[in-house]
Amino acid sequence: MAGSAPARETPRVEGAVAIVVSRFHEDITEGLLVGALEVTREAGLSDPEIAVFRLPGAWELPIAARRAAASGRFGVVIALGCVVRGETPHFDFVAGEAARGLAGVALEYGVPVGFGLLTTDDLEQARARSAPGPANKGREAALAAFETMRTLRGIDGGEPGP
- The string of DSSP letters for 98-142 reads HHHHHHHHHHHH---EEEEEEEESSHHHHHHHHSSSTT-HHHHHH
Interatomic CA distance for residues 3 and 85, integer angstroms? 21
pLDDT for position 2: 43
Sheet holding 50-55, edge to edge: 50-55, 16-22, 74-84, 113-120
How confident is the model over 100-119, as a mean pLDDT?
97
Going from the C-alpha of 140 to that of each of 11, 72, 120, 150, 158, the distances in angstroms are 12, 24, 16, 15, 24
Of 45, 65, 39, 41, the closest CA to residue 53 belongs to: 65
Lowest mean pLDDT of 1-10, 12-21, 123-132, name the range.
1-10
pLDDT digit string, tens, across residues 51-66: 999 999 999 999 999 9
- What is the longest distance spanned by two Cα atoms in the chain? 49
Catalytic residue from among 90, 92, 108, 124: 90
pTM for the model stands at 0.89
Lowest mean pLDDT of 13-22, 61-70, 116-125, 137-146, name the range.
13-22
pLDDT for position 8: 53
pLDDT for position 92: 85
Task: Compute the radius of gyration of the chain from its Cα atoms.
Answer: 15
**Span 16-152: which CATH code?**
3.40.50.960
Phi-psi region of 41 (alpha: psi -120 to 50; beta: other; left: phi over 0): alpha
**Residue 25 catalytic?**
no
pLDDT for position 15: 73
How confident is the model over 94-106, as a mean pLDDT?
96
pLDDT digit string, tens, across residues 11-21: 556 679 999 99
Between 115 and 153, name the one with better pLDDT.
115
Interatomic CA distance for residues 2 and 16, integer angstroms? 33
